[in-house]
Structure 1
Amino acid sequence: MASTLVGFGVCLALASAPDAPQFLPIQEFTLAWTHSIEKTRWEEDYTVVAPISPGRSPTLKAGRARIHGSAAGMEPPPNAVWHKGWYEYQPTVQPLDPLRLTRSGYTADYEWCTQGTCRSMTEILPSDGGVTLLYACR
């Protein structure tokens, strides 16, 4: 577990209301979801990284990612390794800032996982059926 970055964390906001973010004082988390057609679970680990100079914003850094199997349109990247039922890999592209999570009422919501416990993102920030913005913040 990384050391705590006081005052830094993750913000979640509905794209329709970006000026009303929900602040979560967490520096490491996993974002998980189930593919709507193939019913295959995906997990991506993220870390909040402190700014390198004063006045700058913190950033999200992509960590390990996992896909529980593969199917059409869900091919693991070439650097993925099969391990205990999962394709595991290190993303080569860092996340966009902010991450734009499409949340539909027709599919299961994203799961927010910390310290081995997962819960529906709806418990943190209810969806409006559109896009949720996720970004590192202070």
Structure 2
Amino acid sequence: MICLLAGSKTVPLLAGALTLAWTHSVEKILWEEDWRSGPAGLELVEARVRGSGAGMDPPPEARFEDGVWKWRPRVPPVGEVVLRRSGATADWRVCIDGLCRPMGDLVPPQADPIMMKSCAPP
């Protein structure tokens, strides 16, 4: 299962996988990453971007399908992902089973940073 930690608040998402989505602050292009909770921690399963520029070019192994660059990042599982909220861009979006919500629906809107971690079911 995946949890969000914002200060002293822990929010169990009751899901073992999610999509983290955001809009790039300069290019205004949607980025998405699929994460899952595994035995070794959080695993980045796939990344997608709908364009390139400003330091966000897809890697050589990316494939272009239906207007989206897709690839599987070759990174080991991590214990946590630190999510920052600058206020200069729209909030992160968390998508579970196709339902997307702004991060502010899950944790206090002013919470920064937010940690995404694997956690035990409640």
Same fold per TM (> 0.5)? yes
Match of 2:27, as an amino acid? E
Asked if 2 retains the 8 angstrom alpha-carbon contact of 1:10 and 1:48, the reply is yes
Unaligned runs of 5+ in 1: 1-8, 52-57
How does 1:1-138 map onto structure 2 within 5 Å? 9-14=1-6, 17=7, 19-49=8-38, 51=39, 59-128=41-110, 130-138=112-120
Match of 1:29, as an amino acid? L
Indicate how the Cα distance of structure 1 residues 114 and 132 shifts in structure 2: closer, same or farther if over 3 A, else same.
same
Asked if 2 retains the 8 angstrom alpha-carbon contact of 1:104 and 1:129, the reply is no
1:96 CA displacement? 3.3
Distance in 2, Cα, partners of 1:115 & 1:90: 20
CA RMSD of aligned residues (A): 1.5
Q: Which aligned runs of 4 or more in structure 1 are off by greater than 3 angstroms?
A: none
Instruction: Return the TM-score normalized by structure 1.
Output: 0.80
Unaligned runs of 5+ in 2: none
Asked if 1 retains the 8 angstrom alpha-carbon contact of 2:45 and 2:73, the reply is yes
Count of matched residue pairs: 120
Instruction: Return the TM-score normalized by structure 2.
Output: 0.90
* Corresponding residue SS for 1:21: strand
Identity value in percent: 39
Indicate how the Cα distance of structure 1 residues 11 and 44 shifts in structure 2: closer, same or farther if over 3 A, else same.
same
Which protein is richer in strand relative to its size? 2
* Corresponding residue SS for 2:104: helix
